[in-house]
Amino acid sequence: MKKPKLFLLHFAGGNCFSFQFLLPYLNDFEVFPLELPGRGKRMREPLIRDFEQAAKDMYHQVMQVLALDAFSASKFLIYGHSMGARLAFKVAGMLEKAHKLPVHVIISGSSGPSLLQNDRKIRHLMNKPELKLELQSLGGLPQEILENEEVFDFFEPIIRSDFEVVERNQLGPFPPIQTPIYAVMGDEEDTAPLITNWEQYTTTDFSYEVLPGNHFFIHQHPRRMAEIIQSCYATTPVYKY
């Protein structure tokens, strides 16, 4: 019996290796870590700075994988963190229009697309010292990268382009998807109390959980995140059209 597919969408500044910490706990899945151009295995490709273009890129990656397995019609899930959460929601809607419905969408590190409009920080235009302080406050980035000028100069264009993806062209509307959503956030995140905002973005089941930690709490809770993903697969969605 084939394993269900799990597509992983990375956070800003991430790549296809960003979920390595989670992989040992995902043996029940065939895992596909997706990656935007300009980093990792796609280093030679130009960076994307537009949200719609980034979503289309991720969508085509998913469709390519599903096309290779078209006759088995195996089930699949989508999980994204932070920028990846917003992209996961968008890609799920695109897949539904193509009649490819995920079993579940799992998002973490985000309280929903509409609330991004209330975030007045324009991170992709910050000067270098401000950007470093912002990245330090978010966590998730090794201190040695922030302190090594040569390494940071290599990383800086990637994180700026990803922040631009998040901060531009997301004015809505944000129509709900027909796929269940499971949202997870860290209790130290400012918008964690607003996590139930995600409920309005699905026409079917919604669940949520708040775990101890900051924006990158997922690194402290790989086993629990894997349990959540597994439970989302085990749950049969009830679609409300």
pLDDT score for 236: 58
* pLDDT the model gives residue 144: 81
- Residue 203 main-chain phi, psi, to 5 deg: -90, 0
Residue 201 and residue 178 in contact, taking contact as beta carbons nearer than 8 Å: no
173-203 as b/e: b if 16+ CB within 10 A: ebebbbbbbbbbbbeebebbeebebbeebbe
pLDDT tens, position by position, 219-233: 999 999 999 999 999
Pick the CATH number of 5-118+172-234 from 3.40.50.1820, 3.40.50.920, 3.10.20.740, 3.30.1360.30: 3.40.50.1820
Residue 235: its pLDDT value, please?
79
Cβ neighbours around 61 below 10 Å, total? 17
Query: 41-76, pLDDT tens digit by residue?
Result: 999 999 999 999 999 999 999 999 999 876 656 799
Q: pTM for the complete prediction?
A: 0.91
Residue 138: which of 171, 166, 117, 114 has the closest Cα? Answer: 166
CA atoms within 13 A on the CB side of 31: 22
pLDDT of residue 200: 94
- Give average pLDDT by consecutive 10-residue segment, the chain, 241 residues: 92 94 96 96 95 96 88 83 96 96 96 67 82 81 83 91 83 87 96 94 96 95 98 70 38
Looking at residue 241, its pLDDT comes to 38
Domain boundaries of the chain, sorted by first residue:
5-118+172-234
| Confidence at residue 110, expressed as pLDDT on a 0 to 100 scale | 94
**Measured CA distances, 187 to 177, 184, 222 (Å):** 26, 10, 16
- The predicted pLDDT at position 230 comes to 97
Q: Is residue 104 within 8 Å of 183, Cβ to Cβ?
A: no
